[in-house]
């Protein structure tokens, strides 16, 4: 017969090993992903500590924080010990982190290459579970006026209306635009539909004197630039 192993709570750990105390003593950078997540969870249950629950959640997404950001309340509730309050706290923290990254990226207002545009799109749609189409509006100095959502679809695609794109561009007096959409699959190679809509939008922009200077496809770990590949 297996011997009984009493449950040890985080409060019974050595002080230096407790996530809260460890953060205070050594700083937030000293904590592992599981320990940071445990702080959000706050408390465990009769069987598992908050850290145990954090490890279960991370284990389900192979310790990939990008995949963690894609979870919804319903997925988190499947973990025994995670209720609505804990799930909402986790999602709120992840969204706050995403917005912080987005704000930091926009401090760099001038677009000089595809990497600059990628950083803006990545912070906005890089971890979205559904395909979304966005544009970046630029003035004559290639400085960002703003970024705008055009459409949201499903896993396999989203409909794009060029009229909506250029209405927004003209309303904000943009001199040029950069197109961007994500591929939830992580693959960045353009589909035939991607090529066709890019060509259609570029031709419409030429008639309206609003240049389409690039179209980026955003994947999990990289991007495809129509301009860099000579496909625009």
Q: What is the pLDDT of residues 19-74, one digit of tens each?
A: 788 888 888 888 888 899 999 998 888 888 888 899 999 998 888 887 888 888 99
- The pLDDT assigned to 2 comes to 46
Q: How many angstroms from the chain centroid is the CA of residue 230?
A: 27
Please list, in sequence order, all residues whose beta carbon lies within 8 angstroms of the beta carbon of residue 47, skipping any fewer than 6 positions away: 7, 81
pLDDT at 10 over 60: no
Higher model confidence: residue 124 or residue 216? 216
- Give pLDDT, residue 47: 85
Tell me the per-residue pLDDT of 185-215, one tens digit each, with 9 for 90 and over: 888 999 999 999 999 999 999 999 999 999 9
Ordered by start, the domain boundaries in the chain are 10-101, 110-225
Q: State the Cα–Cα distance between residues 105 and 173, nearest whole angstrom.
A: 22
Residue 4's pLDDT is 45
Q: Is the pTM of this model over 0.85?
A: no
For 110-225, CATH gives 3.40.140.10
Diameter of the chain by CA atoms?
80
Report yes or no: 187 and 193 within 8 Å, Cβ to Cβ: no
What pLDDT band is residue 164 in, cutting at 50, 70 and 90? very high
* Inter-residue contact 186 to 219 (CB < 8 Å): yes
The more confident residue out of 221 and 207 is: 207
């Amino acid at each position: 017969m297996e011997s009984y192993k009493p449950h040890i709570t985080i409060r019974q750990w050595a002080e230096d090993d407790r996530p809260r105390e460890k953060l205070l003593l050594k700083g937030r950078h000293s904590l592992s992903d599981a320990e940071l997540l445990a702080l959000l969870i706050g408390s465990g249950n009769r069987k598992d500590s908050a850290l145990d629950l954090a490890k279960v959640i991370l284990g389900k997404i192979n310790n990939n924080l990008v995949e963690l950001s894609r979870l919804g309340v319903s997925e988190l509730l499947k973990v025994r010990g995670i209720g609505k309050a804990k799930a909402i706290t986790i999602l709120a923290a992840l969204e706050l982190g995403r917005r912080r990254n987005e704000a930091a990226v926009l401090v760099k207002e001038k677009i000089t290459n595809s990497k600059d545009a990628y950083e803006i799109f990545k912070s906005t749609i890089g971890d979205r579970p559904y395909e979304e189409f966005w544009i970046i509006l630029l003035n004559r100095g290639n400085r960002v006026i703003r970024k705008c959502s055009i459409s949201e679809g499903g896993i396999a695609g989203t409909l794009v209306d060029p009229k909506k794109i250029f209405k927004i561009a003209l309303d904000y007096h943009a001199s040029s635009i950069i197109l961007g959409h994500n591929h939830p699959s992580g693959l960045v190679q353009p589909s035939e539909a991607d090529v066709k809509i890019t060509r259609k939008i570029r031709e419409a922009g030429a008639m309206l004197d609003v240049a389409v200077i690039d179209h980026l496809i955003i994947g999990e770990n990289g991007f495809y630039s129509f301009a860099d590949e000579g496909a625009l």
